[in-house]
Amino acid sequence: MRISSKNILFTVLISVLLASCSDFRKLQKSDDWEKKYDAAIKYYESKDYYRSSVLLEQILPIIKGSAKAEKANFIYAYTYYYEESYLLASHYFKTFYETYGRSDFAEEARFMYGYSLFKDSPRYNLEQTSTKEAIVALQGFINRYPSSEFVPKAEDALNELQQKLEKKAYENALLYYKLRKFMTGEYLKAALVAFDNFQNNYPDSEYIEEIRYLEIEAMYKLADVSIQSKKKERFTEALDYYQDYIEDYPSGEYLRKAEDIYEDALNKLRKLNI
């Protein structure tokens, strides 16, 4: 009976894996911390981050204060990063640079603290607390190490995080506007506040022209549903928003729509003044 080369290879691989697992279990049970340390480094270098972290976790309390503790703690933080446990990685990188502030690894650890938070940052439409924490951490790193080799990567991450917050703010502003049909006046007022805040926070945003147009539309619609004593003031404000828009965007994408609102607002103001 012939045994195929594929079957032989499969058998060899299984044997190697079983032997490897057996060796790892023996290491876990061993009382020799130096042996565990050396094995953890080798596992790390061969990109077996899980086994490296398991062994390091066992020996870190034992080697605390020793010459090898610094490198072990630094690598331990990286094992979580490479395993994509970014929040834990950020914690251990932060712990590292706070503990070993004079270490040659301190600069990189401070960068990796912020970068791990960046990697943990969720999609723009979710809660953005970790995004804001990442921005603070990365900006703090740049301020502390302006000439660091990690600055370009930190700046790229910062730009991406800022764009995420910008997109979130834009969607929030639109949400208030879309909800106007439920509580027309209140949601229109909230939308106007959100539009104003967006312009203050993101003056160079790609969404600014759209926000400026929606501001005209929202103020016009607010005037339309307002009590009689407020109508004149709010229609006039809509006209002011229109004038500001055409000054900045004389050939703007929303110019035709803005002009239609302008004409309607003027006609309604004339009727109010009769």
pLDDT of residue 274: 53
Mean pLDDT along residues 225-235: 92
Task: For 194-207, give the secondary structure using H, E and C.
Answer: HHHHHHHHCCCCCC
Question: Which residue do the tokens 């480094």 mark?
Answer: 41
Tens-place pLDDT, residues 17-59: 444 567 888 888 888 889 999 999 999 999 999 999 999 999 9
CA–CA gap between residue 239 and residue 83 (Å, rounded)? 57
Number of alpha carbons in the 13 Å side-chain half-sphere of residue 3: 6
Mapped onto helix, strand or coil, the DSSP state of residue 147 is coil
Long-range contacts of 124-133 (CB under 8 A, 24+ apart): 124/164, 124/165, 124/167, 124/168, 124/171, 125/168, 125/171, 128/164, 128/165, 128/168, 130/87, 131/161, 131/164, 131/165, 132/165
Tens-place pLDDT, residues 99-137: 999 999 999 999 999 999 999 998 877 778 889 999 999
Mean pLDDT along residues 79-87: 97
Mapped onto helix, strand or coil, the DSSP state of residue 126 is coil
pLDDT of residue 175: 85
Tens-place pLDDT, residues 145-165: 999 999 999 999 999 999 999
Neighbours of 154 (CB within 10 A): 22
Mean pLDDT along residues 64-77: 95
Mapped onto helix, strand or coil, the DSSP state of residue 239 is helix
CA–CA gap between residue 112 and residue 162 (Å, rounded)? 18
CA–CA gap between residue 79 and residue 54 (Å, rounded)? 10
Predicted structure pTM score: 0.79
pLDDT of residue 10: 41
Ordered DSSP codes for 56-99: HHHHHHHHTTSTTHHHHHHHHHHHHHHTT-HHHHHHHHHHHHHH
Closest CA to 264 of 231, 249, 250: 231
Q: How many residues comprise the chain?
A: 274
CA–CA gap between residue 201 and residue 158 (Å, rounded)? 15
